[in-house]
Amino acid sequence: MYRSITGTRSEANEMEELYRDLSVNDGEKVYLSDGMYLYPDGSIR
């Protein structure tokens, strides 16, 4: 089960920027920890 959290557009931009900083290949999810991944759209699942 995934929980969606809506925030301001600036928060979404920050998560997308974090994704760009951490990603090795564009479009690939980034493993964070404990089974959580950061996706290119800035979502965490």
pLDDT in tens, the chain (45 residues): 555 556 666 877 899 999 999 999 989 999 999 999 999 999 999
**pLDDT score recorded for residue 11:** 78
Structural domains of the chain, count: 1
Listing DSSP states for 6-28 in one string gives ---HHHHHHHHHHHHHH-SSTT-
**pLDDT score recorded for residue 16:** 92
Q: Domain of 19?
A: 1-45
**pLDDT score recorded for residue 44:** 93
Tell me the whole-structure pTM to 2 decimals.
Answer: 0.69
Burial environment of residue 25 by CB neighbours within 10 A (0 to 12, 13 to 18, 19 or more): exposed
Residue 9's alpha-carbon distances to 3, 6, 16, 26, in angstroms, are 18, 9, 11, 21
**pLDDT score recorded for residue 7:** 61
